[in-house]
Structure 1
Amino acid sequence: MAPAGRRRSLTQDTSSRHDPELVAAARHFGRRRFFTVTAAAAALAFSANLPARGVAAGTELDAARIGTDPFTLGIASGDPLPDSVLLWTRLAPEPYEPGGGLAEKYVAVKWEVAIDDMFIFVVRRGTAIAYPEYNHSLHVEVDDLDPGREYYYRFRTGTWISETGRTRTAPAATAATTRLTYAAVACQAYHDGYFTVHRHLAEDDVDVVFHLGDYLYEYAVDSAGGARDYTDRKLPDLYNREVKTLEDYRLRYALYKSDPDLRAAHATHPFVVTWDDHETENNYAGAISENDDPPQEFLLRRAAAYRAHWENQPLRRAQQPDGPDMQLYRRLQWGTLAQFDVLDTRQYRSDQAYGDSRHAPGPESDDPARSITGAKQEDWLIDGWRASQAHWNVMAQQVCFSQRKFDLTAEAKMSMDAWDGYRASRRRVLDGARSAGVDNLVVMTGDVHVGYAFDIKDDFDDPASRTLGTEIVATSVASGKDGADKPANWETYHKANPHLKFYNGRRGYVRVALDREQARADFRTVSAVTMPGAPVTTAASFVTESGNPGLQPA
């Protein structure tokens, strides 16, 4: 999230994965430029070192010759299923160097999964290949595991053994699960402070973590690490520039993943990740860049960003990108207790209305042809709700879903980058939830660097209207630096938005406990991130009862 002051409006038909971008480009740049964009998209597999899906070659590197620990970026697990987890690592003995300090050769890596952290009872093991074409990353889908069980895992290559990770499988789809505790985090600008929040999260007892976007930022990081103000080390100059190329994005992930607190959180809990804008570029919309770059250029940048994102996250083969496209929205289940619909509100959205400025909603933003999800994803979401047998339906996504007025005027300004700029999209989603019979709707959000708790109203301008669900907004891990318990606009926001039940501007994470009777949200915050080691406290706790949406203090 950053102030925007850009561009025109351009309506997109977002009913497919490829055509919307090219159609939008054709409308804006004419037929000749359209063919240029088409050619650029077709050439992506051969550009910016992006091999076609599944292509990897080369000769083997003798792992015994790796003289420095290659597991500097840690390990991770993700997207737990009842019988499977995804295990991730990336080999980088020199993480701040292009290629991670490894030759352009593939490396054999052994992996193990056990039911104990001493690896006495190993239940699954194998060997995977870390290819240079994929920046020596590994994505191991371990199958045939027992549902609802904790496991330990590790990797080995040559004489080097990774740290031990802990993960878990989801309960069986038909299991009458009675309790789930998950955490949500977002927005971790390295240059704004330490990842102390992740250290506390690593020490918390949660089943799974949802990362709601802005895992990294594309902005330059100086040699002192920005607000971290390193005095005992200097970062290489290659970080002191905006990220644009595949090598840039890979190196930026290496910087973030070398952070010990982030490594600890990944090693302790399985993650479910989705992106927002900064994994590519601030406030981009589909194929439209923040600064009106030609689409053929921006699609190359997007392809590089998506490629690096998949390489560096615990994501399955189904999420592997194809040029500038990546199937990130997906559905997970936790027995019959919860269904998680993980959205992508960047790749398929129409351009922001009114130049992406703060603006009162109007004909441009309320055009029903506009969408924040794209028609295909919107249908997928609503169809999934209709088929859901879950007690709670949780929509994990990026930007504020509930109405958020910034002032007390009759024509109050709102964010055109959030769902307020796509009110027809929001109306269709809410009507879809109602028609599907979703009684217990929880929306999880990141992006705004503050913690919010909203009642989701049928009519946000009528406080007496029906409450349809609950939105829990996780504050940032580091973005925005230390923050304050009561930001300067705290009173204005509460007056302008009666459905806003909580607002806090500190850094932190949110922990949500679900059972058959209620959902409880604990807003966990730290006093500072510009210095390491700040303690964590619970700023507030709220509950919403099953079958009776609406937040109450716990």
Structure 2
Amino acid sequence: MAPTGRHGAPAEHAFSPHDAVLRAAARHLGRRRFLTVTAAAAALAFATNLPARGAVAAPRLEAARISKDPFTLGVASGDPLPDSVVLWTRLAPEPFEADGGLGGQRVAVEWEVAEDEHFALVARRGTAEAHPEYAHSVHVDVRGLKPGTRYHYRFRTGSWISPAGRTRTAPGAGDGTPALRLAAVACQAYQDGYYTPLRHLAEDDVDVVFHLGDYLYEYAVNSVGGERRYTDRTLPDVFNRETTTLADYRLRYSLYKSDPDLRAAHAAHPFVVAWDDHETENNYAGSVPENGVPPQEFLVRRAAAYRAYWENQPLRAAQLPQGPDARLYRRLHWGTLAQFDILDTRQYRSDQAYGDRPHPPGPESDDPARTMTGDAQERWLIEGWRASGALWNVMPQQVCFSQRKFGVAADAGVSMDAWDGYRASRDRIVAGAKAAGVDNWMVLTGDVHVAYAFDIKEDFDDPRSKTLGTEITSTSVASGKDGVERPANWDTYMRANPHLKFYNGKRGYVRIGFDRKAARIDFRTVSAVTTPGAPVTTAASFVTEAGAPGLKPA
């Protein structure tokens, strides 16, 4: 048994969410203000939904009194380090009730990590508290593990034992590990179809999964589950409205995590997660909402959305929101083979130009003051590249990085929500990559509900210009319903964007294998998601060689 600290959690990773949030909120109120809101409104947003000071002293529910399975939302792990991984679960014997069926009481939850699936060789174990203020979620930062090792884990409370999960740690910092296999997924609108791609992903042989955003959608889900067309059950009316409050977001995560295919994927692989817009609201930009809601009101909503996101993902305490702020961008390594710089392209961006409508680049969108990442994240990214000793530098993020013209004319429109609407910001990132000598650069993208493969060009308008890296865009898990292999604009896009090497509109995920010589990209797609059980196929495969950027058919 590991040494235990406050609340029964191992001393090496115990923390009080209540104290951490209050300290952080105080620091933020002292050092920054949103320019678009008053100090009073900012204070309201920062203070929204913080635990009461008596949170730690909330009455404890005797686990033996839990009469129904509390592990209905499954288990997950994430953000693997050489000696650590985050384990997650959330207790909810009644997942579609606002309190999960556990009221305002805290619950002791035991956890254990083993080197074998039978849990005969236990490596670490301990006890954590599931607090009602955090929707009875549990985040355990298990430390003291061996690098580059597969582990199995599970939770227990009372007589109830969770499903077992499988995870792994990253190789050691100087480890010349020869290979890595990852998957990337994005955009899983529950109402648009079944999570069949995630079922296939659960059975695939990958080391880690990157979720690139739109894990959740704020839109209403009707009683039959939209395109799922349930005939054997009826969803409660609580889902048939847009999410705006903390209770709304928590319940929506309960709905999503009730899906067995999503639970299976989480149990099979560690996830590295990052949000896009729909985890809060469609196409928001920083503190600017989609519609005409006052920024101070929107920040209260953003605080609730960010809070529920952390509660429902395998994230460390460092990502715990502080009101409407959360430090989600972070860096992970896979020995000397790969460095991952996970970006947040929503929280710090300038408002979209030209009313967020497709528009040719112009003075408004090309204003050098505009940013996609914010100054601090931009500096962090470029400084991280300068210090990188990895062969592959991978940038998981959310929206299309490469130029994507919507027509063949010279003045064709582009997306104001993607990096095309923030070209000066993109130029600074490209210049930073070049100055840092990043030779093997790969951008991972979600958002658009289709699969793309781009060469990143020094000058996107000149196909003969130098290729600096590759961008791989994962199609959606379910968003957009079944999709088609060649969307109606396929021919136009391929002619308008010579650096676009692949375009497919079916649902699925992307699998990428890295080694010391090359990366292989497999676009995995299913024929349908509006009916369950479709088989998976590989729609196309590409390679990009180390030291020779550019995509070639495999």
Range into which the TM-score falls when normalised by the shorter chain? over 0.9
Query: Unpaired segments of 5 or more residues in structure 1?
Result: 1-15, 26-33
Aligned-partner Cα distance in 2 for 1:147–1:18: 39
- Give runs of aligned pairs for residues 25-64 of structure 1, distance below 5 A: 25=36, 34-35=37-38, 38-44=39-45, 46-47=47-48, 49-51=49-51, 56-64=56-64
**In the superposition, relative to structure 1, how do residues 55 and 331 fare at CA in structure 2: closer, same or farther (>3 Å)?**
farther
Query: Aligned partners of 1:203, 1:289: CA distance in 2, in Å?
Result: 39
2:147 equivalent to 1:165: no
1:269-418 counterparts in 2 under 5 A? 269-418=269-418
What is the alpha-carbon distance in structure 2 between the residues aligned to residue 213 and residue 429 of structure 1? 21
Question: What is aligned with 1:482?
Answer: 482
Amino acid at match of 1:135: A
Q: Which residue of 2 aligns with 1:492?
A: 492
- Give me the whole-angstrom Cα distance separating, in 1, the residues matched to 2:44 and 2:62: 33
- Does the CA contact (< 8 Å) of 1:53 and 1:322 recur in 2? no
CA contact (8 A) 1:52 1:322 kept: no
Matched, 1:427 2:427: yes
TM-score w.r.t. length of structure 2? 0.94
Shift of 1:40: 2.5
Partners of 2:320 and 2:455 in 1: CA distance: 36
CA contact (8 A) 1:274 1:343 kept: yes
Tell me which amino acid in the other structure corresponds to 1:139.
H
The structural deviation recorded for 1:39 is 1.4
SS in 1 for 2:454: strand
Calculate percent identity across the aligned residue pairs: 73
State the secondary structure of the residue aligned to 1:110.
Answer: strand
Offset, 1:21: 8.8
In 2, Cα distance between equivalents of 1:534 and 1:19:
54
Cα distance, 1:45–1:457 mapped onto 2, change above 3 Å: closer
Shift, 1:296, TM fit:
1.1
CA distance in 2: counterparts of 1:269 and 1:403, whole angstroms:
32
Query: Following TM superposition, by how much is the alpha carbon of 1:42 offset from its aligned partner in structure 2, in angstroms?
Result: 1.5
Report the CA distance shift for 1:342/1:167 in structure 2 as closer, same or farther (over 3 A). Answer: same
Name the CA shift for 1:19/1:373 in 2 (closer, same or farther; >3 Å). farther
Give the deviation of 1:169 after TM superposition. 0.1
Q: Which residue does the alignment assign to 1:456? A: 456
Deviations 1:444-485 (CA, angstroms, capped at 9, x unpaired): 000000000000000000000000000000000000000000
Cα offset, 1:408, TM superposition: 1.4
CA distances 1:33-74 after superposition (whole Å, capped 9, x unpaired): x43xx2122234543x33279954401001101000000000
Report what 1:85 is aligned to: 85
Q: SS at the partner of 1:501? A: strand
Give ranges in structure 2 of 5+ residues lacking alignment: 1-26
Change (3 A) 1:374 1:53: farther
Give yes or no for contact 2:197–2:477 (8 Å, CA) kept in 1. Answer: yes
Structure-2 change in CA distance of 1:325 and 1:18 (3 Å): farther
The amino acid across from 1:551 in the alignment is L
Residues 478 and 421 from structure 1, CA distance in 2 versus in 1: closer, same or farther, beyond 3 angstroms? same
1:73-97 residue CA offsets vs partner (Å, 9 max, x unmatched): 0000000000000000000001011
| Corresponding residue pairs, total | 528
1:180-237 Cα deviation digits (max 9, x unpaired): 0000000000000000010000000000000000001000000000000001110000
Q: Distance in 2 between matches of 1:213 and 1:531?
A: 24
Partner residue in 1 for 2:444: 444
Letter in 1 for 2:380: W
Q: How far has the Cα of 1:103 moved from its partner?
A: 1.7
Does the CA-based 8 Å contact 1:225-1:235 persist in structure 2?
Answer: yes
The offset of 1:500, in angstroms, is: 0.2
1:100 match: secondary structure = coil
CA distance in 2, matches of 1:358, 1:478: 24
1:17 positional shift: 8.0
Report the 3-state secondary structure (helix = DSSP H, G, I; strand = E; otherwise coil) of the residue aligned with 1:43: helix
* Cα deviation, residue 22, structure 1: 4.3
CA RMSD after TM alignment: 1.5
Residue type of the alignment partner of 1:381: L
Residue of structure 2 equivalent to 1:509: 509
Report the TM-score when normalising by structure 1. 0.94
| 1:410 CA drift (Å) | 1.9
SS of the equivalent of 1:202 reads helix
